[in-house]
Structure 1
Amino acid sequence: MRPTSAYRGSTASRLSTAGFGPAPPTASRQPTAMTGFSMIDRPITQQGISGLRTGTARGFRTRQLQDKRYWEELMQVKVREMKAEIARLSEQADAGERERSAKKHYEKRVRELALELTDLQGRLADYNTAIRIANGEANKMIVEEQTKDLEASNQKMQEEVEQVFMEKQRKENQLRQLREQMDKEQSTITKLLAEMTQEQKDEYNELEATAAALREEVEQARTHIDHLNREKDEFSKEISGSQIKVHLLELHRRLAAAEEKRDNMKNEMNNRLDPQEEREKLLLQVREDNAAISSLDSNAANLKEQIKKVQELIEQAEQVLTKDKILLLP
């Protein structure tokens, strides 16, 4: 049942509350007749009956009732934060780009100054030589010798430059050939992939992934081996400086060799058969050897018989030829 007007308050109080009359002061508001609490205990906000708003450090007010407007305001705050972060990162990127451009400019300037310094050093040497000649410190023969030395040095450097240039051309030719070969191989692979079925393609992709994993493992193993070799070299240098450590290393090597020999003997003992099995194995081996020997003997006898027949045929042919020669004589 809906409460009557007595429970909800009088009509006049509701009208005055709605704006048709002045509301009583806050301190003069009296509890209702039935509920026993004041209206100040139930503050009314724009979103209805809810708790009081509290402010955050960023000025964003959280609400107990998280409606559409709450989430829109939250998204606006996040968007502003993202824009600020993007602006900060863009500024850092621009600063890095400016630093990179300045670095390139400085590197170019350093190279130019190095070339200029080299030229100035050469001119300074020429001026010093001219001053010594003018002061009588150097005669014509010394200058000619220095000139010859410089010519020989320049000739040598020119030959080295030509060799470097030829080597560069050879490397470029090799690189071009390798690229052409790679292009051919790539076209062949592409053609084969186009002709493959889906199962073959899946298998090829699996093999490619396996090959990549194996290459990575090989690279890691190579790195580990290099690290171990460096440690070995360091230990060898450290051991070589102490006679006791060298002797200890030799003892460790002997111990490792003895342990290996012991393991081999254990394996032989474990793999060795009992006497009865060994006897049967030897008998079987003897039978096989006897059968092979009998076969070889029979083959040898057959060969001897065939050789004997061929020799008889040869003797008969020689006799016939002898008789024919006698008959042909006058």
Structure 2
Amino acid sequence: MASNHKSSAARPVSRGGVGLTGRPPSGIRPLSGNRVATAMPPGTARPGSRSGPIGTGGVLSSQIKVADRPVTQQGLTGMKTGMKGPQRQILDKSYYLGLLRSKISELTTEVNKLQKEIEMYNQENSVYLSYEKRAETLAVEMKEFQGQLADYNMLVDKLNTNTEMEEVMNDYNMLKAQNDRETQSMDVIFTERQAKEKQMRSVEEEIEQEKQAADDIIKNMSLENQVKYLEMKATNEKLLQELDTLQQQLDSQNMKKESMEAEIAHSQVKQEAVLLHEKLYELESHRDQMIAEDKSIGSPMEEREKLLKQVKDDNQEIASMERQLTDIKEKINQFNEEIRQLDMDLEEHQDSTNYGWKITEKNTESFKKQV
């Protein structure tokens, strides 16, 4: 039986190439091939097991540490060398919690510091405002005291100069009258200001009403008229801008002219130069006029024809005027004849009227005699 069956101690381990001295207890997991456990170093038993250390050989006999081959999210990294001093090898949750607590404590300390500074600044600001108000009140009081001091100084000067009481009263009455006049003028100015402000408000209301009416009219327009209105409005704004620009240029030119006139008024040489320029301008104008007349004059034959034509035109015009004059004279004679005839008719009518009056008077006298 012993020769036919092999003992368990002589059975080799599969794919490992490492012989075990005995069958491991049931509480220990056997190691396979080249796989290395990451939870505990090789050669040690799991805590709480019934067996002790197991014997290994070959590759498994070397002490391999997990930190020699750290695993990250991007894969395996190289070996870290040159570590100075003892440092934490695994940055776990407790490490980051401690780091976060330290940063939170630093932030809390800084926030408390800033809060204290803010409170200090607020206290200083409140104290500054109270001091500023007190300074304003003290400044008003100081002005009042300065006025009283000036009055007392003037009174002392009057006493030192032996001024009569009557003169002091005259000065007092004069100043009082002046103050009363200024008070009345201030009241008048204040009343006028209120009236002007009221007038301005009424004018602004009227302007708003006119704008509203204009907007209503524009809304009621047709689309074509609205487009024309907008185009004309844009043109108007453009022209107003150009007008403002030209007005500014005109103002600048007027200022320049006034400054140059002032300079000329203070300089005799410049005045003479201006007179010479004016005379030169007149002579140049006269020269241009003579040149134009010379150019308009043609040859003698052309001038002769022009004169003959002008004479003919003048003769025709004179003949037409004579005919018109004859017609007018005939009309005048006709009107005179009509006037003479009317005068004769009027005289005859007056004679008949006078004869009728005479008969009426005779009848009246005869009637009176009979009565």
TM norm structure 2: 0.49
State the match for 1:156 in structure 2: 181
- Aligned residue runs from structure 1 range 1-330, under 5 A: 118-132=143-157, 140-263=165-288, 274-275=306-307, 278-279=310-311, 282=314, 286=318, 289=321, 293=325, 296-297=328-329, 300-330=332-362
Q: Give how far 1:237 is off.
A: 2.1
Q: 1:178 to 1:202 in 2, by over 3 A?
A: same
C-alpha spacing 1:153/1:226, structure 2 compared with 1 (3 Å)? same
For 1:315 and 1:213, the matched residues in 2 are separated by 80
1:236 deviation in Å? Answer: 1.8
Change (3 A) 1:246 1:193: same
The structural deviation recorded for 1:321 is 0.3
Structure 1 alignment gaps of length 5 or more: 1-104
Distance 1:254 1:133, change over 3 A: closer
Whole-Å separation in 1 of the counterparts to 2:166 and 2:319:
100
Cα 1:189–1:158, aligned 2, differ >3 Å: closer, same or farther?
same
Counterpart-to-counterpart distance in 2, 1:237 and 1:329: 94
Superposed displacement of residue 116, structure 1 = 6.2
Q: What is the alpha-carbon root mean square deviation over aligned residues?
A: 4.0
Q: CA deviation at 1:266?
A: 6.1
Which range moves more in the overlay, 126-135 or 170-179? 126-135
Name the residue aligned to 1:36.
none
Residue 175 of structure 1 deviates from its aligned partner by 1.7
Q: Distance in 1 between matches of 2:169 and 2:225?
A: 78
Instruction: Look up the equivalent residue of 1:324 and give its one-letter code.
Output: G
Q: 2: CA distance between counterparts of 1:199 and 1:113? A: 70
Change (3 A) 1:217 1:113: farther
Count of residues in correspondence between the two structures: 225
Q: Which amino acid aligns with 2:265?
A: S
Call closer, same or farther: CA 1:311–1:186 in 2, change over 3 Å. Answer: farther
CA distance in 2, matches of 1:117, 1:253: 68
CA change 1:139–1:212 in 2 (3 A) is same
Local SS of the residue matching 1:329 = helix
Whole-Å Cα distance in 1 between the matches of residues 188 and 145 of structure 2?
A: 28
Determine which structure has the larger helix proportion and give its number.
Answer: 1
Instruction: Give 3-state SS (helix, strand or coil) of 1:239's partner.
Output: helix
* Partner SS for 1:199: helix
**Aligned partner letter, 2:259:** E
Q: Secondary structure at the match of 2:152?
A: helix
Letter in 2 for 1:310: L
Larger Cα-atom Rg: 2
Distance 2:343 2:279 in 1: 67
Shift of 1:181: 3.5
Aligned to 1:73: none
1:204 partner SS: helix
CA distance in 1 between counterparts of 2:332 and 2:139 reads: 91
Letter in 2 for 1:193: I
Q: Matched residues in 1 for 2:345 and 2:149: separation?
A: 106
TM-score where L is the length of structure 1? 0.54
- C-alpha distance in 2 between matches for 1:294 and 1:117: 106
